[in-house]
Amino acid sequence: MVRTAEKPRICRALISVWNKDGIEDLSRKLHGMGVELVSTGGTSGLLVSKGIPVIDVAELTGFPEMMDGRVKTLHPKIHGGILAIRDNDAHKSSMRIHRIPAIDMVVVNLYPFEETVAGGAGYDEIIENIDIGGPAMIRSAAKNHRNVTVIVDPDDYGEVCSILESEGEVPFAMRQKLAAKAFARSAAYDRAISNWFSDVLEYPDMPWRSHGGELGQVMRYGENPHQWAAFYRDFKPETGVASARQVQGRTLSYNNICDTDAAFSLVSEFDASQTCAVAIIKHGNPCGVGLGSDLEEAYEKALKCDPVSAFGGVVALNGEVSKSVAEKITEIFTEVIIAPDASPEALAVFKEKKNLRLLLTGGLGDVKSDALQVRSVAGGILVQSRDNRNVDDCDLKVVSKRAPSQQEMEDLKLAAKIAKHVKSNAIVFARNGASVGIGAGQMSRIDSTQIALRKSKDAARAAGEKGALCTGSVMASDAFFPFADGLIAGIKAGATAVIQPGGSIRDDEVIAAADKAGIAMVFTGMRHFRH
């Protein structure tokens, strides 16, 4: 049974904040309602300078702030006043005997640990920005939410004051919600600290690991309408969907975010100063990727690979979108466009498509980031380092009798980069700077090859061409060929060169099949499974 205090009146509030946004207005309103204010250091000094009466914590505890501010609120007269159960006779007796005044509201936010780390501070400075007293008070107040109101977010000041002015109390339901928020903030803070230590110590197998973030949005639903979902962002998210500015369009859905992240991760593999890149994603897999001297050429190449699947997809570009590119993209229905930037003329074109979601990131993603990836499974989570390498990091080895031509090698590298972002088993055909057939997520590599060939034939027919686009192309496989049959299927589809990790016990058999067909084969030594 949940016990609720009978209309607890707020007589005394302890205010100790690093982020002082809104604190003057809150304190002034509380004082106007007859609430006695207790405060510390910088917060106390600010309020006094604004003419708001404040009792210093040192006056309440009888002990001065000491050890460079490390010890100021860690005292029985603070935590006793917060934790005491107001209708418990033993607690009331202890308060009376030890002259502990009740504290009915705690307004605390924490030292800027995350900001300090993000700013590149040194070890000692980061350690000093680990808050101790703040989390202790937050947890004490949140635990005793039956009697105490805890506020950790300046965004809640206005609502709390409004309800105090109208009702004279903070309802239990609101105290519960504020307490839950306080525990979540404390958990996220500790998560940031523990993960920083893990990184500094290079301690990947830490016995406990926590993950969390700040609520970005609540979704209408998850992958399906019967599932609920929410999007939580890291404190300082990497450049991408989490950090992007949404210029227009409806709120992103769960599936939109998944696909947009996949698309932007793929185009971020390509240096915009070297080549323009466009990727079109549908249900987590690329249905077309193109490179070009400009984004219009790259988009046309990407679209040609699978124009049917591109309908209702997500388009990612690695450069600024021009008016002509915007007009091309909006010729078919597109759910989301994500790019570093867009010209004013392009924005005007997109504005005509009210339902189109447009995200601008200000730059490309960091494909070399060593940030962790987390996935939930029933009863636990899987954590791994990011797949932050690609074919450019490999010591490529030509294992066939014939070496690839310069154009074949360029296309092999492109196909390998695309295959990294295709669900396993992945087969990618590429020719002249574009994907021309993609097979994804099949149980065998032969199945993926056959699907890629079929789609390539469909794309050729849609373009008014005969045969298949993959004729005369190169082929990439995300993992080794366990048997020669997968390679042979690719050769029959029209591949003239193949890139794969190698490492099968039957590599000799596979290489022999390549030599028999007169095609070039390159080993990367690096697998890119994607599940």
What is the per-residue pLDDT across 8-38, written as a single tens digit (0 to 9) for each?
A: 688 899 999 989 999 999 999 999 888 999 8
Cα 341 from Cα 521, distance rounded (Å) = 39
Catalytic one among 91, 143, 211, 323?
Answer: 143
Measured from the Cβ of residue 7, the count of other Cβ atoms closer than 10 Å reads 11
Phi, psi angles (nearest 5°) of residue 317: -130, 150
User: Mean pLDDT throughout 313-341?
Assistant: 97
Predicted local distance difference test score (pLDDT) of residue 366? 92
* Residue 1 confidence class, pLDDT cut points 50, 70, 90: very low
Nearest to 416 by CA among 491, 497, 501, 476: 476
Instruction: Check: CB of residue 288 under 8 Å from CB of residue 363.
Output: no
Instruction: Check: CB of residue 194 under 8 Å from CB of residue 209.
Output: yes
Partners of residue 437 on adjacent β-strands: 429
- For the record, the structure tokens of 220 come out as 């209408």
Q: For residue 66, give the DSSP letter.
A: B
Report the b/e string of 160-195 with b at 16+ CB within 10 A: bbeebeeeebbebebbeebbebbbbbbebbebbbeb
Higher per-residue confidence, 47 vs 92: 47
Catalytic one among 211, 283, 323, 353?
Answer: 283
User: In this model, does residue 202 exceed pLDDT 90?
Assistant: no
User: In this model, does residue 3 exceed pLDDT 80?
Assistant: no
Look at residue 316 and give its three-state secondary structure: strand
Cα 177 from Cα 181, distance rounded (Å) = 6
Cα 228 from Cα 222, distance rounded (Å) = 5
Contacts of 457-463 spanning 24+ positions with Cβ under 8 A: 458/306, 458/308, 459/304, 459/305, 459/306, 459/307, 462/307, 462/308, 463/304
User: Mean pLDDT throughout 293-300?
Assistant: 97
Q: For residue 477, give the DSSP letter.
A: E
- Whats the size of the chain, residue-wise? 531
User: In this model, does residue 352 exceed pLDDT 60?
Assistant: yes
Domains in the chain, CATH or no CATH each? 12-201 (3.40.50.1380), 215-360 (3.40.140.20), 389-523 (3.40.140.20)
* Residue 72 confidence class, pLDDT cut points 50, 70, 90: low
Partners of residue 380 on adjacent β-strands: 377
Give yes or no: 91 in active site.
no
Tens-place pLDDT, residues 182-198 = 999 998 888 888 888 88
Give yes or no: 397 in active site.
no
- For the record, the structure tokens of 14 come out as 């302890």
Instruction: Check: CB of residue 286 under 8 Å from CB of residue 259.
Output: no
Predicted local distance difference test score (pLDDT) of residue 68? 66
User: In this model, does residue 360 exceed pLDDT 80?
Assistant: yes
Q: For residue 403, give the DSSP letter.
A: P
Global model pTM greater than 0.85: no
Cα 444 from Cα 340, distance rounded (Å) = 37
Partners of residue 529 on adjacent β-strands: none
Please, is 485 exposed, middle or buried when counting C-beta atoms within 10 Å of its C-beta (0-12, 13-18, 19+)?
middle
Q: Is the peptide bond before 88 cis (omega within 30 degrees of 0)?
A: no
